[in-house]
Amino acid sequence: MLMLLKWTNRIVTGVLFILLIGVTILVIPAKITGEQPEIFGYQLKSVLSGSMEPSIQTGSLIAIKSVKGEKIPHIQEGDVITFIGEENNLITHRISDIALTDSSTVYTTKGDNNNATDSAPVLAENVVGLYSGLTIPYAGYVINFVQSPNGYILFMVIPGLFMVGYAVFTIWRTLRELDDRTKHFVDNAE
């Protein structure tokens, strides 16, 4: 039984440590540069509207291949892109037409569930990413909750307090065992 507790302790500690390192590697550089976190050139985005249903459900988390600042000749009509909209919000819609101008490429986009194309054309420099086809249903709701004040407390502060409490408990237990061994050694020496 004691061996099982030791292995469980090691596994929990290892998992928490790996999660801490992973979050640090992803989030801190993104916060410093002001960019979105990327994993191997992909960003995760929450879909908050039903404009792309049934292709992409509301509340899904999607992976997009980041293309910000790149020439993007590989984007074609029918591809789904994420772009910066008129109000600096991110929109994910399908390209319905591509027009080349002297200075740029302009995309006409439309949500699969919308009746008409978007009113404003999308300049190539406003394209953030190309939808990779990876969708995780309902995970977008979780991400949005985590980014809210209540979610931040639930997913960052409480686990942080748990880790600190666990560390204090482990140190206390080790000191107690050391004290017991010292008492046992002193009692046997007399």
Instruction: Point out the residues that are catalytic.
Output: 49
Degrees to nearest 5, angle at CA 23 with 22 and 29? 105
Rounded distance between C-alpha atoms, residue 135 and residue 92, angstroms: 13
As a whole number of angstroms, the distance between CA 126 and CA 138 comes to 27
List beta partners, residue 61: 46, 136
The C-alpha angle with vertex 71 and arms to 70 and 75, in degrees rounded to 5, equals: 110
| 146/140 Cα distance (integer angstroms) | 10
| Whether 53 contacts 60, CB under 8 Å | no
Q: Name 62's bridge partners.
A: 45, 135
Q: Hey, what are 57's tokens?
A: 């459900």
Specify which residues 135 forms β-bridges with: 62
80, two tokens: 């789904």
